[in-house]
């Protein structure tokens, strides 16, 4: 796997060992393609140049170069760092800050009316990044730096360089190093997201999601990427959990194209024959699911047991557009209203698997027994006067009124884990949308789903569930012997996204699903939790 950080960290020692009058740069090859005789034909590399002037501190400047992509063989500079002072105790803190700030400022979030201006996104505070460098091992920090570096180089190679450089980046640099996103290589990323604030977090994850969306599209189109890496499903989704101020919080991110496809009427694989379907497929691939799950929890100590209660505080699901809208000037503006929508959310929380200290689980909501209102009308007709025979006519009319809601909420259990399930239903047929196969031309009930007064989503296409939808809290009784310990509690969920045409004419539909699961701390310390 790529290890840029180790090479950079050794540069100060290299400067000490170098001759005083030596100005020869050091070079690290990021990726290269070889010719038949083994010589490098094309490559992307980093060059370190020393700067030492009288009266100034010695420093090093890094430049990323593309070599061999032109017939002349000249090097092309893709990116240049600020000077890094070698006399500092953290000489490459400015380098990491520069990479992060430049990546965050290029996020699609900054192009869609973000509440955080682009100028503010540049002001990433150095303290959290400095603390991360101090508190993590070189191996963990190396994986985080490589991820940040690869993301920043995506923008340099894909936007500010010839197309052949961008293709080479995806094929030879990004694809072989996607494992930096795997769980075992992402502990520093979790710490970073917890410490930099939600605005910078959203922008960084959308910049990362945009890069992954482009990689998934190119891989499906086919530019030699299929043979390098099997298509990752969960590997390109990311989540983390944290405990703070009486809340358990789970955050998850997933490019829609990386979610597992569960049903569809047409795979609509690239290349797509019809132009409008090709644009639709392209627009849908530039979307990302962002989820926030918050549980409010409470710990009470009794004579013979410990009571742990939890209730849903918020479940927020948003499908964000990773494109740049009007800034891109593309033909996809007519499809801007086409996006996936949440059709089911299944969230669980409970003790770690195999826990023996839980005495029982109590749920706080009964299974709904659907009500149906019956309305009966009776009409009696008779003949007045004195006819030869009395004539009586009777007619009856019965009407049934059924109340249907868009969302159904359920509570359930799996072992000692409490499960909260929200399912979107078609309010005309009652069918669950996540498992629905609408007929050709069907799904009209979900057209203009973000504009009507009875829409089941927010105006921006998101979804917010508050605690009042899920009933009372759930509770666990724990052995009093666990007092004073910090337990590992698990929190996770599955989210289904569906697509039906909104404004455009298309019979295409699909449903995708992603799953996350993380651990959080449950402190059983009197006075620690109210």
Residue 272's pLDDT is 61
Global pTM reads 0.86
Separation between Cα atoms, residue 72 and residue 4, nearest integer Å: 28
Q: Which helix (H) or strand (E) holds 279?
A: helix 275-285
pLDDT score of 163 = 87
What confidence tens digit (pLDDT) does each residue in 492-518 have? 999 999 998 888 888 888 999 999 999
428: left (phi over 0), alpha (psi -120 to 50) or beta: alpha
Q: How far is CA 495 from CA 105, 131, 146, 338, 361, in A?
A: 29, 34, 29, 19, 24
Residue 174 CB neighbour total at 10 angstroms: 27
Q: Which residue, among 406, 504, 381, has the nearest Cα to 456 in the 3D structure?
A: 406
Per-residue pLDDT of the chain (530 residues; tens, 9 = 90+): 788 999 999 887 665 555 544 455 789 999 988 755 555 588 999 999 987 766 677 889 999 999 988 765 678 999 999 999 888 888 999 999 999 999 999 888 654 555 555 555 557 889 989 999 998 888 889 989 999 999 999 999 988 888 889 989 998 899 888 887 776 667 899 999 999 989 899 999 999 999 999 998 888 776 555 544 554 545 689 999 999 889 999 999 999 999 999 988 765 665 565 667 788 888 899 999 999 999 999 999 999 999 999 999 999 999 999 876 544 444 456 677 788 999 999 999 999 988 888 888 898 877 766 555 556 556 655 555 566 555 555 555 555 555 556 888 888 999 999 999 999 987 777 788 888 877 655 566 677 777 776 677 777 778 888 877 766 789 999 999 999 999 999 999 999 999 988 888 888 889 999 999 999 999 998 876 54
Instruction: Please say whether the beta carbons of 223 and 170 come within 8 A.
Output: yes
């Amino acid at each position: 796997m790529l290890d840029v950080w180790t090479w950079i960290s050794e540069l100060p020692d290299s400067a000490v060992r170098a001759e005083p009058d030596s100005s020869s740069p050091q070079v690290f090859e990021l990726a290269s393609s070889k010719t038949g005789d083994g010589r490098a034909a094309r490559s992307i590399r980093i060059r370190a140049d020393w700067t030492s002037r009288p009266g100034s501190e010695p420093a090093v400047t890094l430049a990323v170069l593309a070599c061999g992509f032109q017939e002349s063989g000249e090097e092309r500079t893709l990116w240049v760092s600020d000077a890094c002072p070698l006399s500092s105790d953290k000489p490459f803190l400015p380098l990491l800050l520069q990479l992060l700030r430049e990546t965050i400022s290029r996020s699609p979030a900054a192009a869609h009316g973000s509440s955080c201006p682009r100028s503010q996104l540049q002001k990433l505070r150095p303290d959290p990044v400095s603390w991360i460098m101090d508190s993590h091992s070189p191996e963990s920090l190396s994986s985080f730096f490589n991820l940040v570096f690869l993301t920043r180089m995506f923008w340099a190679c894909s936007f500010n360089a010839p197309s052949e450089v961008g293709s080479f980046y995806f094929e030879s640099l990004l694809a072989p190093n996607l494992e930096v996103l795997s769980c075992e290589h992402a502990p520093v990323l979790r710490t970073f997201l917890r410490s930099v604030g939600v605005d910078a977090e959203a922008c960084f994850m959308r910049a990362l999601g945009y890069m992954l969306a482009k990689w998934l599209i190119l891989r499906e189109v086919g530019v030699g990427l299929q043979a390098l890496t099997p298509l990752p499903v969960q590997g390109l989704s990311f989540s983390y959990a944290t405990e703070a101020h009486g809340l358990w919080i789970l955050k998850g991110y997933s490019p829609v194209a990386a979610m597992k496809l569960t049903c569809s009427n047409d795979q609509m694989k690239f290349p797509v024959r019809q132009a409008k379907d090709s644009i639709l497929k392209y627009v849908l691939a530039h979307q990302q699911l962002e989820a926030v799950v918050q549980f409010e929890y409470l710990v009470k100590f009794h004579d013979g047991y410990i009571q742990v209660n939890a209730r849903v505080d918020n479940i927020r699901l948003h499908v964000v557009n990773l494109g740049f809208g009007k800034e891109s000037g593309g033909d996809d503006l007519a499809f801007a209203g086409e996006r996936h929508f949440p059709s089911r959310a299944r969230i669980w929380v409970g003790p770690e698997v195999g826990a023996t200290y839980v005495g029982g689980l109590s749920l706080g909501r009964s299974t709904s027994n659907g009500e149906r209102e019956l309305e009966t009308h009776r009409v009696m007709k008779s003949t007045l006067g004195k006819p030869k025979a009395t004539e009586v006519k009777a007619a009856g009319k019965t009407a049934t009124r059924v109340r249907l809601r868009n969302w159904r909420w359920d509570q359930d259990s799996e072992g000692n884990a409490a499960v909260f399930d929200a399912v979107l239903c078609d309010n005309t047929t009652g069918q669950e949308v996540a498992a629905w196969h609408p007929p050709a031309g069907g799904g009209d009930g979900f057209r203009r789903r973000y504009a009507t007064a009875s829409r089941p989503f927010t105006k921006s296409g998101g979804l917010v569930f508050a605690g009042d939808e899920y009933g009372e809290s759930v509770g666990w009784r724990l052995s009093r012997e666990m007092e004073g310990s910090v337990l590992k509690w698990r929190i996770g969920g599955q989210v289904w996204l569906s697509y039906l045409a909104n404004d455009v004419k298309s019979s295409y539909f699909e449903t995708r699903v992603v799953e996350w699961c993380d651990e959080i701390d449950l402190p059983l310390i009197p006075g620690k939790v109210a």
